[in-house]
Structure 1
Amino acid sequence: MSGRTASRVPRVLSIAGTDPTGGAGIQADLKSIAANGGYGMAVVTALVAQNTRGVRSVHVPPVAFLVEQLDAVSDDVEIDAVKIGMLGTVDVIRAVASWLDRVRPPVVVLDPVMVATSGDRLLEADAEEALRDLMSRADLVTPNLPELAILAGEPVAEAWDDALAQAGRVAGRHGVRVLAKGGHLAGERMPDALVEQAGGDLAVTEFPGERIATTNTHGTGCSLSSAVATRVALTGEWERAAAESKRWLAESIRHGASLGVGSGHGPVSHFAGLWTRGGTTTAPTVAEVEEDWWEHVGGIRAEIDDLAFVRGLGDGSLERDVFLGYLAQDALYLRDYARVLAEAARLAPTGDEQAFWAGAAQGAIAGELQLHESWLGPANRHDTRADAVTTAYLDHLLAAGARGDYRVLIAALLPCFWIYQDVGDRLHPLSHAEHPYRSWLDTYADPAFAASTRHAIDIVTRAAATADEKVRTAMRDAFRRSAVHERDFFDRGR
């Protein structure tokens, strides 16, 4: 299996008992599988009345029903890995062994649940030999030190070297990998080790660790074995799976107390790392981003519609000098705007996006400035200085480019496409052949500009939908700030 990389989410089956408090058993297994990148399934071997203080009673359903559960899963779902936990009785162990012989799952991890964290014995004494026989069907067993001693038929190891030697004897006797765990040892060190036979020799890979000062250790064995099963199904690498699972479990243990669950040995926080790094906010779809952003500037768009400049531009009553003043400022704006578009092209992560922004930069110079020249004349382009409104807008865009965050930059650029195209679309039907500003309205209501705007919207909203919440919020803020600048830019001739 070495080096294998799954092309899909691994489907991992937990065969174990329950824990109504959710910290151990199949409830912990399902959380662990999901936290480590798998799709969890569960077959119940026993119903356990327990909490963080201990086990009260165990009910084992009929074995025939256990077999029905197992067959129901394997008849329908291709299983990538199996994690086996609490089995409880000889008949249950034999039923699971028979099913493994029929189905032959590619990865089997056995957590030989015999002793709970609370010290309760969870396996009937006459089932111990049956469990040893089951080990020959597993790829890995993950006992704690008391369980390792039972499997070896020896006293509990009190030193790490003794534990490794004991794990080596179990591995050699049963032909199985053993993940020896040092959590029951005294001291601050808490090592684990993968012990296996390799070409007649014993191979030991140690994973160092430090003891975490906490009582939140309920279900750690269940969680670790499920994590390893999942990560092996993902990568096919036992050492890597064990190392990564140990790091994940340590992180989960460190955050367990924050859950505030129970008054005994509390559970670990299986998703603490995911919650911290990814949050719990559901990412919006591209369509949801588009709708939200457009509504977010709805008030600004309404203010633009109410501007005397826009109303006069639509009905043709706008004074020519006011319009020419607007065009003069727009010509100054377009020079630096084209530079910012070129910076977006430089930062773009894909060829399509690079080509789009570069084309928009070229269009801003070659196309739109030509339109401005036709109104202002070529000499007039250099006679005007940028006013405060133009300067503020350009400062906003240039600052976004200087910060180097492509996603925030393109969000800041978007209103110059979207709002202009929206205004042009709505004003153009008001114009006619003799309308004094028809050529300007033709440009911004042009189907080619509409297609370019659509492309810009798609690029930006897709980037926002795939960004984390912090970046998406920064993009939305930059978009709104540019929309405000657009409004101010239209507010001429006051």
Structure 2
Amino acid sequence: MSVPRVLSIAGTDPTGGAGIHADLKSIGALGGYGMAVVTALVAQNTRGVRSVHVPPAAFLDAQLRAVSDDVDIDAVKIGMLQSRAIAETVGEWLDEVAPPIVVLDPVMVATSGDRLLDIEAEAAVRDLCTRVDLVTPNIPELAVLTGEAPARDWAAALRQARALHDSSGAAVLVKGGHLAGRLCPDAIVDGDGVHEVTGTRVDTRSTHGTGCSLSSAMATLRASGLTWHAALERAKEWLTGALASADVLRVGRGRGPVDHFHELRPVESWTDAAWRRSAEVRTEVDRCDFVRSLADGSLAETRFHDYLAQDALYLRGYSAVLARAADLATAAADRAFWSASAQGALEEEARLHRARIGAAISEPAPATLAYLRHLDAAAARGEYPEIVAAVLPCFWLYSDVGMRLQAHPRPRHPYADWLEAYGDPAFTVATERAIACADAAAAAASVSTRSRMAEAFARSMMHELAFFDAF
């Protein structure tokens, strides 16, 4: 099948998150060739609209004809139509050119709830509903188009969508994003009934341009040969991913844009990203005097014994936090892993530490106390993903250091037992399992929970550095 040629008729967004900018990204991300005719020049950013300049309707007509006189258009998406004259110009062009697929996103109500169009412009947009194939209103816009109060639940939204379909003849994409609750369904309402696609709300503030993006995605997918129902299933899958990865863009200080091209980027796991962000801390660990002198065997035995005494105290507290992870894990295999790790920490404390320093109990040093308080706080909050992220550096950093130091063995190294413990392939396997647990927890977590995971991991890495620096 040839690449669908999709024309967006909409306003601009200089920050790139909405309007024709979002449309062109959506069309391209889903395999189409995007074209754009500008209805309004909008000075806006992620925090709001500052001003709008509407070119004369004659210039809009000239743009439309410049495209249709030269290009065979497979689908049209219509967005912002600021005035009655603009809407009527688009309507007249539609009547003359008769594009095979037309999607109307009736931009009529701002996120704040303010009406964006005057009465005449609203009437012109309502008239356009009878000349298009699909209308994609949000809940407030659906209310305007049906002359009712905004729907308060999904059943009421479906009823209003049915009324709009009956009055216009167009299929209606009704969206549940403005309704309260964790679930976020969408549906196509047409002559064949209601075709619902379920979904879960994505926890993010980066929702700028979602309506624009969804409507242009629908136009592109329908022009690619999908039915409206199948197009919605694919578009919702894509948009959910765009919302889930939106925060990585860090565009603006308000409601940021979605990540239109998330499917085209190499996938980086949560742990890969956390490890990458910790590069500076890991470099400082390698540079610290304790690690360097431990590596070459020049570390004074008294310093090593001081370290072991504090590490013994740490491992007892660490074991308790690992046991808490076991309590909270939902999968039996994960519970078994964390429980075994908790027991292993105690066995390590007994085998390696007591063999060298005996059973003497030291007072915890400030660095030891600070690290344990951080872990205890994560355990007390009782969020499994955060606890896993907090304990992971003690696996990963020690495995990394141990393997690299083992790669350059020194005959009769005075601390060979320590190096062998953390360079042991069995410890590497345990570390890999802990990493996999963290990735699985992050995949199922909300954006806010992943953010807390990242903070917990980063703070633990800093505590590891402070612990080494204390000796």
TM range (shorter): 0.5 to 0.7
The question of 1:274 aligning with 2:274 is answered: no
Which consecutive residues of structure 2, in runs of 5 or more, have no partner in the other structure? 269-471
Residue 94 of structure 1 aligns with an amino acid whose one-letter code is E
Match of 1:248 in 2: 238
Equivalent position SS for 1:50: strand
CA distance in 2, matches of 1:110, 1:133: 11
CA distance in 1, matches of 2:25, 2:61: 24
Greater mean deviation of Cα atoms: 129-138 or 90-99: 129-138
CA distance in 2, matches of 1:116, 1:95: 23
Q: How far 1:43 moved relative to its partner?
A: 0.1
Contact 1:109 1:142 in 2 (8 A): yes
Q: How far 1:117 moved relative to its partner?
A: 3.3
Equivalent position SS for 2:100: coil
Q: 2:71 aligns with which of 59, 67, 77?
A: 77
Contact 2:9 2:36 in 1 (8 A): yes
The question of 1:151 aligning with 2:141 is answered: no
Q: How far 1:274 moved relative to its partner?
A: 1.1
Q: 2:252 aligns with which of 250, 253, 262?
A: 262
Match of 1:127 in 2: 121
Residue 95 of structure 1 aligns with an amino acid whose one-letter code is T
Match of 2:10 in 1: 16
Contact 1:82 1:229 in 2 (8 A): yes
Q: How far 1:114 moved relative to its partner?
A: 1.0
Per-residue CA shift, 1:114-140, capped at 9, x if unaligned? 123354543233211111111111100
Residue 273 of structure 1 aligns with an amino acid whose one-letter code is E
TM-score with structure 1 setting the length: 0.53
Match of 2:215 in 1: 225
Match of 1:52 in 2: 46
Identity %: 63
Match of 1:102 in 2: 96
Match of 1:167 in 2: 161
In the TM superposition, 1:112-123 aligns within 5 A as 112-123=106-117
Contact 2:113 2:140 in 1 (8 A): no
Match of 2:465 in 1: none
Equivalent position SS for 2:218: helix
CA distance in 2, matches of 1:277, 1:78: 36
CA distance in 1, matches of 2:229, 2:220: 13
Contact 1:114 1:147 in 2 (8 A): yes
Equivalent position SS for 2:265: helix
The question of 1:206 aligning with 2:206 is answered: no
Moved over 6 A (4+): none
CA distance in 2, matches of 1:116, 1:235: 32
Contact 1:117 1:219 in 2 (8 A): no
Per-residue CA shift, 1:394-414, capped at 9, x if unaligned? xxxxxxxxxxxxxxxxxxxxx
CA distance in 1, matches of 2:189, 2:241: 24
The question of 1:182 aligning with 2:172 is answered: no
Q: How far 1:276 moved relative to its partner?
A: 2.8
Residue 255 of structure 1 aligns with an amino acid whose one-letter code is S
In the TM superposition, 1:396-407 aligns within 5 A as none
Per-residue CA shift, 1:202-257, capped at 9, x if unaligned? x0010001011100000000000000100000014111111100110000011111
CA distance in 2, matches of 1:124, 1:191: 30
In the TM superposition, 1:29-48 aligns within 5 A as 29-48=23-42
The question of 1:215 aligning with 2:181 is answered: no
Match of 1:376 in 2: none
Match of 1:64 in 2: 58
Which consecutive residues of structure 1, in runs of 5 or more, have no partner in the other structure? 1-6, 279-494
Distance 1:16 1:216, change over 3 A: same
TM-score with structure 2 setting the length: 0.56
For the pair shown, the structure with the greater C-alpha radius of gyration is 1
CA distance in 2, matches of 1:275, 1:117: 30
The question of 1:25 aligning with 2:32 is answered: no
Contact 2:137 2:173 in 1 (8 A): yes
Residue 166 of structure 2 aligns with an amino acid whose one-letter code is G
Distance 1:36 1:117, change over 3 A: farther
CA distance in 2, matches of 1:245, 1:142: 13
Equivalent position SS for 1:276: coil
CA distance in 1, matches of 2:41, 2:113: 18
CA distance in 1, matches of 2:54, 2:226: 34
Q: How far 1:52 moved relative to its partner?
A: 0.6
Contact 1:63 1:95 in 2 (8 A): yes
CA distance in 1, matches of 2:119, 2:206: 28
CA distance in 2, matches of 1:10, 1:167: 28
Q: CA RMSD for the aligned pairs?
A: 1.2
CA distance in 2, matches of 1:248, 1:123: 30
Match of 1:111 in 2: 105
Equivalent position SS for 2:88: helix
In the TM superposition, 1:415-434 aligns within 5 A as none
CA distance in 2, matches of 1:188, 1:173: 31
Contact 1:14 1:42 in 2 (8 A): yes
CA distance in 1, matches of 2:245, 2:206: 9
The question of 1:138 aligning with 2:132 is answered: yes
CA distance in 1, matches of 2:110, 2:262: 24
Contact 1:194 1:205 in 2 (8 A): yes
CA distance in 1, matches of 2:206, 2:116: 20
Match of 1:310 in 2: none
Equivalent position SS for 1:180: strand
Contact 1:14 1:84 in 2 (8 A): yes
CA distance in 2, matches of 1:18, 1:137: 24
Match of 2:467 in 1: none
